Amino acid sequence: MKYYNSIIDTIGNTPLVKLNKVTKGIRGTILAKVEYFNPGQSVKDRIAIRMLEDAEKAGVIRPGGTIIEGTSGNTGFGLALAAIGKGYKCIFTMADKQSKEKIDILRAVGAEVVVCPTNVAPEDPRSYYSVAKRLNQEIPNSFYPNQYDNLSNTAAHYDSTGPEIWRDTDGKITHFASGVGTGGTICGTAKFLKEQNPDVVTIGLDTYGSVFKKYKETGIFDEGEIYPYLTEGIGEDILPKNVDFSMIDHFVKVTDKDAAIMARRLSREEGLFIGWSCGTAVHGALEWAKDNLKDDDVMVILLPDHGTRYLAKIYNDVWMKDHGFLESREFATARDIIHSKNGSAKLTTVSRSATVAEAIRTLNQRGISQIPVTDEQDHIVGSLTDSTILSKLIEDPAIKDVPVSEVMDKPFKFVGLDNTVDVLSSLIDRENKALLVRDETEQVHIITQADLLAAMTT
């Protein structure tokens, strides 16, 4: 039998997946290291178990103890999984900008969550850093992992993530890109890769509002660079000990909006349902790659977590529009379209008992390309389009004398009056050439592609 003794034994050995659509026009091979295959659906599972086991070896925490950590959510979840397996309690402090999903997930696995204000200095007693430290001092037999300064963070990636990437690329990796938060992921991985090949280039992805990029380039910790931003789990207003700037060759900054849009693109175009900072990593890495990658290069971009943490944020259209990340353009509705077409006009239909030749005459007389089919009670039971009739006539000219019921397609879809043009257009395809809508008086109207085009240009 093949099985694992506990869920924490499944951490690591996540796959590399080639990016195909978002990389168009970029040379080289671009691979994503998809960390949501870890049991806690994030890269932080790796450091959680390493920090805890190192603390156990050092006697910092004893059986029945409490783990206390400041987290953006993912490290907390990894620690919670490890705590379940080892019998510890958990208390996590989080900034109030973190998604509700992250808070709910932590509570679902038995952790206590203390939410702290975002827009305060790290040394402020209300910050999630300070609250975690205070609780650690107050609660006996507690362990404060401090992922920012605990070098077990970097060691976890030196011992696992780096070797996995080297192995799975057969040593052909030339570039490694990762977001920089605590710094352990990029620096531990880069240290291993550079030991195998000093020419491996590392690209750190930062966010506007974080201090990393300027500090790397100037050596200046500029507090003027610090301001609130929305992207979670990336960038910092401190310099964690796990950030070894000698391991990071270049920094690229990415806006909240660009990161969110890229995350949604990866979900829709690559089938990778990933988190917000993953969008930061890919957008920034590809921007750098456009001008620097060659045909034989192999770039690995680390994607740290899963999209379920962000359902109410970047995967919510209303939230995206409210924050100016999606165009909030006003589209015409089905109601507007039927009113502009003279809403009182009676819908043209053809009976299912009519011949195909009679249906063709109706289409020609009315100058239309599609028509609903009705039964004896005037219920809509099917549809006909000129393209369908033409293809059938080419196959068998005698088809013109058979009843419409023998050649009709399924009925056109009904839609609501308040559906907008962008939604309506997504419902028209090769199998559904038009849409039907009932107005306030229950009269049925038809909406065609031509109607949608007219609505978009008026």
Query: φ and ψ at 205, to 5 degrees?
Result: -100, 125
d(CA 239, CA 212): 8
Among residues 33, 44, 194, 213, the one annotated as catalytic is 44
Query: Which amino acid, residue 413?
Result: K
Structural contact between residues 38 and 53, judged by C-beta atoms closer than 8 angstroms:
no
Instruction: List b or e across 402-416, with b for residues whose CB sees 16 or more CB atoms inside 10 angstroms.
Output: eebeebbeebbeebe
Q: Residue 445's closest CA among 377, 343, 320, 306?
A: 343
Sheet holding 112-116, edge to edge: 112-116, 89-95, 66-70, 142-143
Residue 400 CB contacts under 8 Å (≥ 6 apart), including other chains? 355, 356, 357, 360, 393
Residue 301 CB contacts under 8 Å (≥ 6 apart), including other chains? 19, 30, 31, 32, 33, 177, 178, 281, 282, 285
Q: Which tokens sit at 68? A: 């206390």
Query: φ and ψ at 414, to 5 degrees?
Result: -90, 140
Is-catalytic flag, 44? yes
d(CA 122, CA 325): 28
Q: Which tokens sit at 342? A: 């003279």
Residues acting as catalytic residues: 44
